[in-house]
Structure 1
Amino acid sequence: MKLPETQLALLEATGATDRTPVGALAEELGEDPAAITRAAFELEEAGLVDVEERALEDVTLTEEGERYRDAGLPELRLRAAAVEAGADDSPVEMGRLLGQSGLEESEVDIALSNLARKGYGEIDDGAIALGEDPRYDPEADPEAAALESIAAGEAEALATDVLDRLEGRGLIERAETTARSVRLTEEGVTALMEGIEAAETVGAVTPELLTSGAWSEVEFAEYNVAADAETVTGGKTHILRQTANRVKDVLVGMGFREMEGPHADADFWINDCLFMPQDHPARTHWDRFALDVPPMDDLPADLLERVEDAHRNGVGSEGDGYHSPWDADFARAVALRGHTTSLSMRYLSGQAAGDLEPPERYFSVEKVYRNDTLDPTHLLEFFQIEGWVMAEELSVRDLMGTFTEFYEHFGITDLEFKPHYNPYTEPSFELFGRHPETDELIEIGNSGIFREEVLSPLGVECDVMAWGLALERLLMLMYGFEDIRDVHGTLCDLDLLRNVEVVY
């Protein structure tokens, strides 16, 4: 019997009693694991070895998990600070403990929530007291111990619920792998005892083989044309981008023109022009992505003055304003836009495209950034369908009719509207659509007619109706997805994206 050199070497290195991992054989023979795996399957087809496959879970620490393994889990560090400050006797002010614990800003909420979840402490009226009946021994916290075990390559022995919690906290990554091992069959043992010669095989006919005549003396490798070939997937436009392009086509067909503008912008354009008070909770460092860059000093001075006056004193004889703090430096500070209405403010003010005369219709389909908690309907960055119409004597009926026409292009005809409050529109309402799979109502957008406090400083003397719609949630209603993360982000389903049918 003759076998290719790789197959013969594998056969001779394989035992007849104990199974040998393919990885170990590849290391011993100095061969590529893929070549050894291929040789093992070819020998199995010939009946000389038996290949066993076993599914394994590969668990590794994320960058955040590595950091917590070195520095300690935030809740343990907060508890240690509480113990040192005497919180076992009486509650200690939270601010003092946060400072002593050395927690970073991004770790504070994590520490507080997990401190309470594990029973390590109780939070009441801005103070922390040590828990009387913790779920775990803080000196033997199972999640902290699990991080050490995973770093040591001993994840197999860990409980599934602990791994689930660590994965939910983003401290580990889990992946399915396949472990293969081989063992000689009786036929393989017999073949080795009878003797096997190494056959030099050629995988392709070359010009040299033909001109020299050596082709008649070599043995050509056999090809199994029925074997599974590696799947090759070509590139394609992401379904989210396809839908965005479709939205643009629809809006252009409805008479709209597209807006463009910066992703990082001054808070003045993002919020101040929208009559959002500077002490509004949505404008704190908890909800926005502030950038450590120089402030935007080229804001139009006259517009800045008018917007400040609207905030302080209101607009018109009955205007009252907010009577809340106003800081020009905060207005100039740069952050990632939380909505594309910053583009609308640039255009309506005349800064982006010059002075506009009604009627005008503009839109954008661009990415926005919000410090939200990740869940099936929320992401830290997503696409917003921004739009507005400038015209005389607009009404809510005009706005609802625009939505009805727009969504009909995507087969969505069962819209529902709910009155809502916005600081920048009056009246305002939210849009809801019914999910085709779960039959649940899903919020798909927010809308209204801009208040005088928004339009007057911008120099707009007619009505403007506006909206912000979620592209990803439109996608959910079109295709029946239940989790935005199936199509967007690091957890997306690649098979789904490759095979989903495009809807027009």
Structure 2
Amino acid sequence: MQLPRHQLAVLETASADEPRRIDDIAAEADLPPETVTGAAFELEDEGLLSVTETVEEDLELTEEAREYLDDGLPEVRLYRAAVEAGATDDPVSLGELLGRAGLDGPQVDIALSNLARKGYGTIDAGSVAANPDADPDGDAEAAALASLADGEPVTDESVVDALVRRDLVARTERTVRTVQLTDAGVTALMEGVETEGGLGQLTPDVLSSGEWRDADFRSYDVEADAEDVNAGRTHPLREMAETVKDVLTGMGFQEMAGPHVDAEFWINDALFMPQDHPARTHWDQFALSQPSEIRDLPDDLVSRVEDAHRNGVGEDGEGYHSPWTEEMARGLDLRGHTTSLSMRYLSGEAEGDLEPPQRYFSVEKVYRNDTLDATHLLEFFQIEGWVMADDLSVRDLMGTFTEFYSQFGIEDVTFKPHYNPYTEPSFELFGRHPRTGEIIEIGNSGIFRPEVLEPLGVDCDVMAWGLALERLMMLVTGAEDIRDVHGTLVDLDYLRNEEVMY
């Protein structure tokens, strides 16, 4: 039988009579522990060794514990100071004892709580009475710390638990592997095992020296099981987001960016969403408590938006006739849609005044207090987009979607009239799931109303949309549940192996 040199060294160092630790074999064979571990598992596959794994607990002293080894536990120091001050006969002022014991800061509370717990004394009305029968020299926790510092075991688990709770000892677990020769391994050694000849690795030294020209390389079993190596990779959903960005950029759009936390003004008020709309309650959106409101808003724009809410725009305008307060508009929320970015850009707040024609998009995360199901998560990615130009029509809107979705092989997008407070006309978008055949909603769209555009200072048409990235990915990949694509329940094999196809 022939074995590689490192395997033979492990086999010869192992014992048939008792298990031996990997670390001991590594030291004796003068090999790295990881090399010995790999060789042991390879020999186990050949039936020559048995490998046993056990979990052992290590106890390590913290820095605080090492201080107490020199100075003593705070409660012991307080008790000794109390005894010296005569507190076994009459209570002594706590302040005096703390000075005698040299205790201050957090150690004071530690000493007081453990003094009573261990029966060293009692504290009443700011004075300490010491127990004359207490034995600080026999303090089990102090003795355990000393034993651990000397590398000796502590068998009393209750004492160890107390030290762990006090953060004086840290528990760690490690896997210990031991190996033992099998009968087949003993037989192989008795019959004789030779070192497998030849080089096992092509190294820079072998190349530079020219040794490779005449070297006898060791043969490899190409059918042997190899370790799976899972390298880091981009999340499939992020790959899809980058693909969407490439498509929209190719269609002439520029990318927007902005805050995840924003004022209700930008998220809702600028969109002509009434302040008493059900979607603006905290049942649907996540509000911040610290800070609770934005500091700076453009005063002129706030006034124009408030007027649109109260009175509408134009001669025949009609507002909501519902309460509107700047206090609510200043409230900070996690954005429920990225249309807050559109409002910042269209108003000139983000990039300055924009002259038509303009096309902008974003692929950003949004947050909603939805019920989790196959098509809803508390956070997801929205594909936001808008086009600013003169004389836009519904045909332009539909044509844009037809072109966009065709880039992903989706040709059967359908539209349904819908109501939005901020667009008129408005349309929901639907696509057919390739696996189930089910029609699923994939987005919302429309042409912004004058009540939105006029306060922003925009005097041309703007068509806009918000599409769900995850639902687009469901259509592309055939995933049947949004939680299979995004979230904490996604299967790791999916993340490692899924390919984004379009």
User: Is TM > 0.5 for Structure 1 vs Structure 2?
Assistant: yes
CA distance in 2, matches of 1:205, 1:468: 55
Q: In structure 2, what is the equivalent of residue 265 of structure 1?
A: 262
Structure 1: runs of 5 or more not aligned: 16-23, 54-179, 207-221
Go from structure 1 to structure 2 and tell me whether the alpha carbon gap of 1:338 and 1:30 turns closer, same or farther (over 3 Å shift): farther
Tell me the residue number matched to 2:287.
290
Q: Which of 271, 276, 292 lines up with 1:274 in the alignment?
A: 271
* Mapping of residues 7-26 of structure 1, within 5 Å: 7=11, 12=16
- Asked whether 1:244 is paired with 2:260, we answer no
Q: Alpha-carbon deviation of 1:195?
A: 12
Q: Distance in 1 between matches of 2:244 and 2:220?
A: 48
Residue in 1 that maps onto 2:69? none
Question: Structure 2, unaligned stretches of length 5 or more?
Answer: 54-176, 204-217
Separation in 1 of the partners of 2:47 and 2:233?
42
Residues matched between the structures, number? 359
Corresponding residue number in structure 1 for 2:344 = 346
Change over 3 Å in CA distance of 1:389–1:48 after alignment to 2: closer
Q: How many angstroms does 1:258 deviate by? A: 2.1
Alignment match, 1:301: 299
2:254, 2:360 within 8 Å by CA — same for their partners in 1?
yes
Q: Distance in 2 between matches of 1:223 and 1:14?
A: 33
SS in 2 for 1:326: coil
What letter corresponds to residue 468 of structure 2 in structure 1? A
Match of 2:462 in 1: 464
Corresponding residue for 1:233? 230
Instruction: Verify: 1:380 aligned to 2:384, yes or no.
Output: no
Question: Quick check: 2:387–2:463 contact (8 Å CA) kept in 1?
Answer: yes
Q: CA deviation at 1:403?
A: 0.7
Q: 1:13 to 1:430 in 2, by over 3 A?
A: farther
Q: Is the 8 Å Cα contact of residues 371 and 378 (structure 2) preserved in structure 1?
A: yes
Q: Structure 2: how far apart are the matches of 1:435 and 1:487?
A: 15
8 Å CA contact retained: 1:10, 1:40 = no
What is aligned with 1:446?
444
Residue 362 of structure 1 corresponds to 360
Specify the SS of the correspondent of 2:417: strand
Identity %: 69
Residues 304-352 of structure 1 show CA distances to partners (whole Å, capped at 9, x for unaligned) of 1111122223333443322333221221122221111011111111222
Q: CA deviation at 1:30?
A: 11
Alpha-carbon offset, residue 481 of structure 1: 1.9
Q: 1-side partners of 2:498 and 2:490: how far apart?
A: 13
Give the counterpart of 2:413 among 400, 412, 415: 415
| 1:430 is aligned to 2:428 | yes
Separation in 2, partners of 1:452, 1:29: 81
Q: Secondary structure at the match of 1:345?
A: helix
Distance 1:13 1:480, change over 3 A: farther
- Residues 204, 415 of structure 1: CA spacing in aligned structure 2 closer, same or farther, 3 A cutoff? closer
Query: How well do the aligned residues superpose, as a CA RMSD in angstroms?
Result: 4.1
Tell me the SS of whatever aligns to 2:381. strand
| Counterpart pick for 1:253 among 246, 250, 275 | 250
Kindly indicate whether the alpha-carbon contact (under 8 Å) linking 1:11 and 1:188 is maintained by their aligned counterparts in 2. no
**In structure 2, how many angstroms separate the alpha carbons of the residues matched to 1:13 and 1:268?**
78
Residue in structure 1 matched with residue 496 of structure 2 by the alignment: 498
Correspondences of 1:32-47 after superposition (within 5 Å): 38=38, 41-47=41-47
In 2, Cα distance between equivalents of 1:477 and 1:13: 62
Alpha-carbon deviations, 1:18-41, whole Å to 9, x = none? Answer: xxxxxx977999999977864554
CA shift for structure 1 position 290: 1.9
Correspondence for 2:91: none
Q: TM-score, normalised by structure 2?
A: 0.60
Query: Residues 271, 7 of structure 1: CA spacing in aligned structure 2 closer, same or farther, 3 A cutoff?
Result: farther
After TM superposition, give the deviation of residue 483 of structure 1 in Å: 2.7
Q: How big is each residue's C-alpha offset from its partner over 1:356-407, in whole Å with a ceiling of 9 and x where there is no partner?
A: 3333222112222222233332222222111112223322222111111111
Corresponding position: 1:404 with 2:402: yes
Counting only pairs closer than 5 Å after superposition, residues 186-205 of structure 1 correspond to structure 2 as: 186-187=183-184
